[in-house]
Amino acid sequence: MIKHFLSVIALLCLFVSCEKTIKDSSPIKGLITKNAMVVSARAEASKIGSNILKKGGNVFDAMCATQLALAVAYPFAGNIGGGGFMVYRKANGEIGSIDFREKAPLAATKDMYLDENGEVIPEKSTLGAMAVGVPGSIAGIFDIHEKLGSMPIEDIIQPVIDLANKGVIVTKKQARAIREYQPLFPKVNKYPIIFDKRWKENDTIKYPALAKTLERILKFGKHEFYKGETAKILAKFIQENGGIVTEEDLAKYEAIWRTPITFTYDDLKIISMAPPSSGGICLAQIMKMLEPFPLDEFGHNTLKSIQAITEAERRSYADRSFYLGDSDFIKIPVETLIKENYLSGRMAGFSFDQATPSSSVSHGNIQIIESNETTHYSIIDPFGNAIAVTTTLNGAYGSKLYCSELGFFLNNEMDDFSSKPGEPNMFGLIGAEANSITPEKRMLSSMTPTIVEKNNKLYMTLGTPGGSTIITSVLQTILNVHEFNMGMQEAVNAPRFHHQWLPDEIRIEPNAFNKNLIKKLKTLGYSINEKDSPILGKVDGILVLEDNSYEGGADYRGDDTAIGF
Ligand code: DON
């Protein structure tokens, strides 16, 4: 499992251009626009989203186009074979969210990734068809469009079909990512796939098969993916490769509208994702534990700030591992978990004199009363509506299983379940019964698409990939703006650190933190892991400036780009 964890770290490393440093690579101010903005992992996707807005579409139309465009331009994580979450805030202040997370197939069982001795079978939940959860992205797109969109779906999907046919130019980072994962593609796929070729920077990859799939989806709607020819091809393909997803699984899939998690922090109101994502609850817990500390006085990335943030993160991730899972299957004490008196109790044992060892921290005691590789994009439209969407195949190129006939990768989201209590998944996250596998249950996520209000007005929309580090990267970006007075791009650029209870270590971006500071943290009992953390998250966000213009923060750690007008 540690091996998996390290391969995820290697994956994250791909985003980073080693010769680049924060200082020489990224402007401190991001793109500033007056009317609208899209920030996503690829310029092609941001452009398609922005064009939809220019043509008069709203943020939800742009969401549908951007999600599909990322499936074409960013197959590393953009997808129609995966799932995700969207949080929205309309210009009139109305908020909401939709869960289009994958779910376990009907034939899934609690012990499906264990051998006869009860041990986790390496790679079974991460590589190949057995790792695949029932995809949710197409359901999400169509449900969003039906409820909130304003443009004809043809005008939204056609530019993406055109992009797939025309092809996408390979960036330096993308060429490196494909090269890195190429050894795994033949291991999983029976026949050669498009990504086996030695693609170089500036080559153009065309996606005619994906274009055809999208044409059918355009013609027949979401049922094409879940009940039509595409569903038949997909279920057959997964089963021929040893998986268990059936046509019935696809036919039964539904995206779910959910009430977001909301809480206040100083004069901010934070709106984030509810279970089956842990994002909103953990963000609320950490921020509420931090609220009493004068972080602005401590200063950005100073000893005291890092200590306070680390200790809050440690306690929240301990709760995450015990209490959180799919709330449609288990009872989650959400109210208590984010209540101030519960959280102040959790921090009671903390002192600046010494680290709290994770071995002495468990989940908090709550009486449950019976009555239980990813990408993010942020968009604001000219009407003032905002969305935050995080979507994923889980690992880089998901399960690595690529359906050449349909033209897309399938997720390996099943690894986000807890295969065995106490056994870490590929992000080193420990789970318990709450996140055990059950047919049709959704696996616990860390994705944290988040919108922030200030004085009842839209202030920020943001999110990031990064597995378990998602929550803490979103946290630090909000704090960078609110506590440390940074702009959006500066907040995104700033070096990040992460603690997740277990393993008991602070992961920090290499060469970004003062050596003296690291020494002091070590003296206080903190274990520092600088080596395995080339990057923590890849944050894309938009900040509303005082004059009501927008500043984009596109993470220099990837090919992320802000486009707007
Ligand atoms: O839902 C989750 O928390 C994970 N599947 C996210 C995976 C991820 O962020 C990978 N990106 N680096």
What is the pLDDT at residue 543? Answer: 98
Q: Is the CB of 467 under 6 A from ligand 1?
A: yes
Q: Is the CB of 473 under 6 A from ligand 1?
A: no
Q: Is the CB of 416 under 6 A from ligand 1?
A: yes
Nearest ligand 1 atom to alpha carbon 416 = 5
**Is residue 537 a contact partner of residue 466, using CB atoms and an 8 Å limit?**
yes
Q: Is the CB of 448 under 6 A from ligand 1?
A: no
Listed in sequence order, the residues at least 6 apart from 548 whose beta carbon sits closer than 8 Å to its beta carbon are: none
| Confidence band for 49, pLDDT divided at 50, 70 and 90 | very high
Closest residue by CA, ligand 1 atom 11: 373
Q: Is 504 helix (H, G, I), strand (E, B) or coil?
A: coil
**Is residue 437 a contact partner of residue 114, using CB atoms and an 8 Å limit?**
no
As a whole number, the mean pLDDT across the chain is 93
Q: What's the CA gap between 287 and 476, in Å, rounded?
A: 10
**Is residue 389 a contact partner of residue 116, using CB atoms and an 8 Å limit?**
no
pLDDT digits 0-9 by tens, 242-285: 999 999 999 999 999 999 999 999 999 999 999 999 999 999 99
Q: Which of 15, 376, 391, 447 to mutate to test the pocket of ligand 1 (most atoms within 8 A of CB)?
A: 447
Distance 34 CA to ligand 1 centre (A): 32
**Is residue 506 a contact partner of residue 526, using CB atoms and an 8 Å limit?**
yes
What are 227's two structure tokens?
């009940």
Q: Is the CB of 374 under 6 A from ligand 1?
A: yes
Which ranges constitute the DSSP H helices of 324-373?
334-337, 340-347
- Among 310, 356, 374, 464, the one annotated catalytic: 374
Q: Element (H or E) spanning 264, and its range? A: strand 261-265
Distance 41 CA to ligand 1 centre (A): 15
| Confidence band for 112, pLDDT divided at 50, 70 and 90 | very high
Q: What's the CA gap between 166 and 519, in Å, rounded?
A: 53
Q: Which of 326, 400, 427 to mutate to test the pocket of ligand 1 (most atoms within 8 A of CB)?
A: 427
Distance 519 CA to ligand 1 centre (A): 31
pLDDT digits 0-9 by tens, 119-136: 999 999 999 999 999 999
Please return the burial class of 518, using the count of CB atoms within 10 Å of its CB with bins 0-12, 13-18 and 19+: middle
Tell me whether residue 374 is one of the annotated catalytic residues.
yes
Average pLDDT over residues 543-562: 97
Q: Is the CB of 279 under 6 A from ligand 1?
A: no
pLDDT digits 0-9 by tens, 341-384: 999 999 999 999 999 999 888 887 765 443 338 999 999 999 99
The alpha carbon of 332 is separated from its chain's Cα centroid by a whole number of angstroms, namely 21
Q: What's the CA gap between 377 and 375, in Å, rounded?
A: 7
Nearest ligand 1 atom to alpha carbon 468 = 3
What is the pLDDT at residue 8? Answer: 43
Bigger pLDDT: 427 vs 267 = 267
pTM of the model: 0.93
CA-to-CA dists, residue 188 to 5, 181, 305, angstroms: 19, 11, 45
Nearest ligand 1 atom to alpha carbon 464 = 9
Helix axes 43-54, 153-166, angle to 10 degrees: 150
Of 338, 362, 228, 321, nearest to 286 by C-alpha is: 338
| Confidence band for 24, pLDDT divided at 50, 70 and 90 | very low
